[in-house]
Structure 1
Amino acid sequence: MSFKTAKTWCIRLIPVVLFFVSYYFSQLFLQSYGGTPIPVPSKNLCGSWLVSKRWESLNFNITKKTRLFLTLGDFFWQQHRSDFPLPYGIKGSELFLLKVLAITSSYDMPAGIESLDCRTCVVIGNGFSIKNSSLGSAINKYDVVIRLNDAPVRGYEDDVGSKTTMRLFYPESASSNPSIHNDPDTIMVLVPFKQNDLRWLKEILYNEKRVRKGFWKPPPQIWLGSASQIRILDPYFLQHTAGTLLHIPLQPKKNQKSVHPTTGILGIFVALNYCEVVHIAGFGYPEFRNQKQPIHYYGRDTMKSMKNSNHDVSHEAQYLKKLEDSGAILYLHPHS
């Protein structure tokens, strides 16, 4: 081989060598910070040892209840008789539910997702930890992308993706125009924490006079969501997230502060029941002593705003760690 030919081959090999060098150091970097390469939501994960064995290591029962939403035809009094009022049951709210469910046209997930033998889910929290993660393209590959409250998508696609299969919300966390940060076929899932939440939706759907009292924050008086995309989450899921997963008293004692699960951990519990593969991103709060630390990947809210909330985020963090250690969930990014 001539010197000229050898020189040409060396020049051609330079990009290949640089690729492997950069890959080696990227893996070294990820390992040094406790991270792992971004997993791909492959169907092969459904048959893996982790998926088949993970439930055996959990100390609570996941029933794999895949009927997520209340329906007009099957919940009234015989089958869904409840000892609890909202948020853990429907006692006292039956008439509001009658009117709301009568005007929505469907109660199921899309047929294309329902028919899957293996469903891959990703639950996107609103935490600051997802900022600058570049997870967007990976998130869009999951069968089901669950988002929470009014978290924006437009302008943040590189980190949080652009696909939204369902969005859990309640009146105070509703965006007045859901079409801005959702897909045209996104399912809008109301999580009713109180009777006023159902009343708000009834007034929206029937264009009735709005009652403004009974909310900790004024909900939208005009809501541009489509009735055909609305679902009402079965209180079963909030009840079991609180009582079975977090061991929160469903009926707190007198003078005891009422604590409810966050929408985020509720979304994870829903995913654990509905999907075979559950990954999460954007979860975790900074320590309370850091009051100025931003808590979301958007906006300016800090830990100070969590001071008077009805959530025990430290308690939830412990159970997320337990779910992670068991293999039931997998984070898509390094986290504390």
Structure 2
Amino acid sequence: MGDLIHEQGEQNGSFTHSRSELRLKMSLKAVKTWFLRLLPFVLCFICYYCSQFYFESYGVKSPQPTASLCHSFNSQRKWESLTLNISRKQDLFLKLEDFFWKYHPSPEALPYGVKGSELLLLKILAVTSKYTMPSNIERSDCRTCAVIGNGFAIKNSSLGEIINKYDVVIRLNNAPVRGYEEDVGNKTTLRMFYPESASYNPELNDDPDTLQDQKGFWKPPPLIWLGRPAQIRVLDPYFLRITARKLLRIPLKPTKQEKIVHPTTGILAVFVALNYCNVVHVAGFGYPESRNYQQPIHYYGQETMKSMKNSYHDLNQEAQVLKTLEEQGVIFYLHPHS
């Protein structure tokens, strides 16, 4: 009898031990199951902080264009750091009712002034119906602006969603939006171009309400242009003149020994934004080294640095100016750059 009880006790002990092992295995299985379920979230969490570290290591913090960012930005101090000895000018476009020569005759011809083009501009301004930015932007106390360059640097940046959040999005020339929305967004408030670089049909690239801003030209524009007159604005030549003379130190009337140089649309757009906006962020700026003629220069198309070989722009000087503006905190890049 005693042996039977002892044997049964051993069996009970073995059974209890087996149950404990079973519970342990079930617990480990449950933990493993939950871990596998949580793993994607853990990886996302890790990836997020790794990306934050990556951006911060390059000096980029992916700022959101919120009101708090706008109000924390001391725009007056940033503007004064430009040391241009001029005041900010927030009336961007020429108007018919206060036509230019009523206040000051223009000493320069296009594109730096209107001398010799007064009658032509009168005709253009007479058929355009609006002369300001959209009213909700005009009334804003603090404007956040993104100037989107056409450079290859913005390709595969996935900045589209962030770009769309700015109050004002400025684009350049005929750079496409459709098909590139993930990187460059699809919001366009103002598209700046010289008439000769205009797309014959602006609606191929933009929303129909996008303002089309012309700046004067030195060669014939397209003979056929399907833009709507109500969306046309003529940028005050003042902005190009000051960009050339004070920002880039370009002589407006070069001597025979000096090369003719004009500001790019990009550097002009940055200066316009600095006048009009409280916060200015940029993306898609910068060219590859001029020696590398095979490097693509745009996020679209096939053009390379070879096409810039004989351009009327001083790319090195503009790159230095942009670098100075960045170092002073006047502009902020949305992506890493060289």
Task: Place the TM-score, normalised by the shorter chain, in its bin.
Answer: 0.7 to 0.9
Quote the RMSD (CA, aligned, Å): 1.8
Equivalence for 1:223: 225
Q: Which structure's relative contact order is higher, taking Cα pairs within 8 Å and 6+ residues apart?
A: 1
User: Contact 1:113/1:119 (CA < 8 Å) preserved in 2?
Assistant: yes
* Alpha-carbon shift at residue 184 of structure 1 (Å): 1.6
Does 2:288 correspond to 1:264?
Answer: no
Structure 1 stretches of 5 or more lacking a match? 195-213
Amino acid at match of 1:193: F
Does 2:145 correspond to 1:143?
Answer: no
Equivalence for 2:303: 301
SS in 2 for 1:98: helix
Amino acid at match of 2:154: I
- Residue 307 to residue 116, structure 1, CA distance change in 2 (3 Å): same
* Alpha-carbon shift at residue 59 of structure 1 (Å): 2.3
- Structure 2 distance, partners of 1:173, 1:256, is 25
- Structure 2 distance, partners of 1:286, 1:9, is 49
SS in 2 for 1:311: coil
* Alpha-carbon shift at residue 52 of structure 1 (Å): 4.7
- Structure 2 distance, partners of 1:147, 1:246, is 21
Structure 2 stretches of 5 or more lacking a match? 1-22
TM value normalised by structure 1: 0.88
Equivalence for 1:30: 55
* Alpha-carbon shift at residue 39 of structure 1 (Å): 1.2
Equivalence for 2:127: 103
Amino acid at match of 2:111: P
SS in 2 for 1:270: helix
SS in 1 for 2:101: coil
* Alpha-carbon shift at residue 81 of structure 1 (Å): 1.2
Aligned ranges for residues 140-179 of structure 1 at < 5 Å? 140-179=164-203
User: Contact 1:89/1:239 (CA < 8 Å) preserved in 2?
Assistant: yes
- Structure 1 distance, partners of 2:69, 2:154, is 23
- Structure 1 distance, partners of 2:81, 2:95, is 33
Residue 47 (structure 1) aligned to one of 38, 63, 71: 71
Amino acid at match of 2:43: L
SS in 1 for 2:121: helix
SS in 2 for 1:77: helix
Residue 45 (structure 2) aligned to one of 3, 13, 20: 20
Equivalence for 2:16: none
Equivalence for 1:242: 244
- Structure 2 distance, partners of 1:193, 1:221, is 14
- Structure 1 distance, partners of 2:42, 2:302, is 44
Amino acid at match of 2:104: H
Structure number with larger C-alpha Rg = 2
Equivalence for 1:205: none
Equivalence for 2:294: 292
* Alpha-carbon shift at residue 83 of structure 1 (Å): 1.1
